[in-house]
Amino acid sequence: MDSIRIRGGRPLSGEIPIGGAKNAALPLMAAGLLTEQRLVLSNVPRLADIKTMGALLSQHGIAVEKQDNAGRVLSLGGSITNTEAPYDIVRQMRASFLVLGPLMARVGEARVSLPGGCEIGARPVDLHIKGLEQMGARFDLQGGYIDGRVDGRLRGAKIVFPFVSVGATENLLMAASLAEGRTVLANAAREPEIGDLAVCLVAMGAQIEGIGSDTLTIEGVPALHGAEHSIIPDRIETGSYACAAAISGGSVFLRHARLEHLGATIRVMREAGVEVTEGDGGVMVRRLNGLHGADVMTEPYPGFPTDMQAQFMAMLSVAEGASMVTETIFENRFMHVPELNRMGARINVHGSSAIVRGVPSLSGAPVMASDLRASLSLILAGLAAKGETVVNRVYHLDRGYEAVEQKLAACGADIERVSR
């Protein structure tokens, strides 16, 4: 299994291209199930999760074709010939569950494996299922699979989410686009990736109001048509490399990054003493002096993203003073803490909060990545640490970050992938 070896202590300097957002691309690919015609997506990131979603769609009968050599433009289309999403694929990637809404809306039946728990928590899917039930679907649980059926078309409904869920909002938004009548999704998630999905659905003929707000009103239409859509840049990849510039004491231009998607991330960055400015076609991140501690609490967008928590923790571990990091979205998202502590960080976890007492420097060590964002947090720590760090189990990394070692090496990091 591959690992990443880093020799720390070099300030980064240069430019990093930011790719299309993984968390926008996955629901957009699932939206390919909503029409017989071609959906052409561009700015698709080259990631393991995208391949997994491609494989899932193919076995539903959708032709997934690369329209360029790099695989950044994908064309999806075709008839649905199989409505089962098998355990083998769903267990690899929870976002597979996003096929449920489109399958129910388009063909009135679906058999989708329940995802189960994952490294960062239990992550149930009850909101997805309850919402579809309100729209007339019936579900049975059999052998770990959820079997769904609806007589005729799904029917519009008023769905009030008891708390904010990105995936449930996306599943129901897609389902509602083809339902009969009006659906209102209240307390909907407002992440930019949902806005991107809604914009694409509108281009496919959906009628959606309230895009970007917490109330989405959808007038269902009988059929959607093909469209072309370019995926927004990845705000989590952007924030992660901003942390890399900051922790290494360097300056990096993040090409294609969009400042307007980065509100809370940038606010905390600036509080920690990092300069962030909008440039021509991207965002410039520069650390001029030392880092200061800052408090972070994860919240649904526009709050601070849970997907940035581990990377900030690495950065704050070498900041002057203490920081409090509180995780409110996932109950088990501190798996990176013991690994950072092995590198000399001083972090104590109390329930859903962690106190990070800044240390002057970290020291390199072999460490183990537990999930996608934790992997990047350990790479960040490695960039700042004295000596050599080896991050093991990097298959998590390849699910969500494209060419990390090339992007960092191009800015002067001493980093390489070691294959065994």
Query: Could you give the residue ranges of the DSSP H alpha helices within 335-416?
Result: 336-342, 372-384, 395-400, 404-409
Residues with Cβ < 8 Å from 116, sequence gap 6 or more?
A: 91, 144
Residue 123 or 261 with smaller CB distance to ligand UD1:
123
Query: Could you give the residue ranges of the DSSP H alpha helices within 295-384?
Result: 309-316, 336-342, 372-384
Catalytic status, residue 411: no
> Least distance from C-beta 264 to ligand UD1, angstroms?
12
Phi-psi region of 359 (alpha: psi -120 to 50; beta: other; left: phi over 0): beta
Produce one character per residue of 135-154: b if its CB has 16 or more CB atoms within 10 Å, e if not: bbbebeeeeebbbbebeebb
Residues in 89-118 at the binding interface with ligand UD1, rule: CB under 6 A: 94-95
Scanning 126-134, 238-246, 267-275, 407-415 for contacts with ligand UD1 by CB under 6 A, the matching segment is 126-134
Contact indicator for 304, 270 with CB cutoff of 8 Å: no
Selected catalytic residue, list 118, 200, 243, 411:
118
Residue 125 is a binding residue for ligand UD1 (CB under 6 A):
yes
What is the phi/psi pair of residue 73, to 5°?
-120, 120
Residue 6 or 24 with smaller CB distance to ligand UD1:
24
Select the residue whose beta carbon is closest to ligand UD1 and give its number.
167
Residues in 323-382 at the binding interface with ligand UD1, rule: CB under 6 A: 329-330
Residue 240 is a binding residue for ligand UD1 (CB under 6 A):
no
Residue 196 or 307 with smaller CB distance to ligand UD1:
307
Scanning 62-70, 161-169, 204-212, 213-221 for contacts with ligand UD1 by CB under 6 A, the matching segment is 161-169
DSSP 8-state symbol, 231: P
> Least distance from C-beta 196 to ligand UD1, angstroms?
11
Residue 251 or 377 with smaller CB distance to ligand UD1:
377
How far apart are the C-alpha atoms of 291 and 271, rounded to whole Å?
9
> Least distance from C-beta 364 to ligand UD1, angstroms?
28
The single residue among 10, 72, 128, 153 that binds ligand UD1, judged by CB under 6 A, is: 128
Q: How many residues bind ligand UD1 (CB under 6 A)?
A: 19
> Least distance from C-beta 321 to ligand UD1, angstroms?
28
Helices 100-107 & 166-177 angle (0-180, nearest 10): 10
> Least distance from C-beta 397 to ligand UD1, angstroms?
14
Contact indicator for 149, 109 with CB cutoff of 8 Å: yes
> Least distance from C-beta 306 to ligand UD1, angstroms?
5
Question: How far apart are the two ends of the chain, measured CA to CA in Å?
Answer: 6
Q: Provide the β-strand partners of residue 5.
A: 390, 416
Scanning 35-43, 162-170, 195-203, 408-416 for contacts with ligand UD1 by CB under 6 A, the matching segment is 162-170
Residue 26 is a binding residue for ligand UD1 (CB under 6 A):
yes
Scanning 28-36, 163-171, 243-251, 408-416 for contacts with ligand UD1 by CB under 6 A, the matching segment is 163-171
The single residue among 10, 111, 123, 190 that binds ligand UD1, judged by CB under 6 A, is: 123
> Least distance from C-beta 168 to ligand UD1, angstroms?
5
> Least distance from C-beta 420 to ligand UD1, angstroms?
29
Residue 275 or 299 with smaller CB distance to ligand UD1:
299
How far apart are the C-alpha atoms of 106 and 91, rounded to whole Å?
24
Scanning 51-59, 166-174, 343-351, 354-362 for contacts with ligand UD1 by CB under 6 A, the matching segment is 166-174
Contact indicator for 374, 310 with CB cutoff of 8 Å: yes
CA distances from 43 to 40, 64, 95, 230 (A): 10, 15, 19, 6
CA distances from 54 to 33, 48, 96, 124, 230 (A): 12, 10, 10, 24, 17
Return the biggest CA–CA distance within the chain.
64
Contact indicator for 77, 38 with CB cutoff of 8 Å: yes
Q: Provide the β-strand partners of residue 292.
A: 320
Site mask for ligand UD1 (CB under 6 A), range 167-206, x = bound:
xx--------------------------------------
Catalytic residue IDs: 118
* Residues found near ligand UD1 in the complex (CB under 6 A): 23, 26, 94-95, 121, 123-128, 165-168, 306-307, 329-330
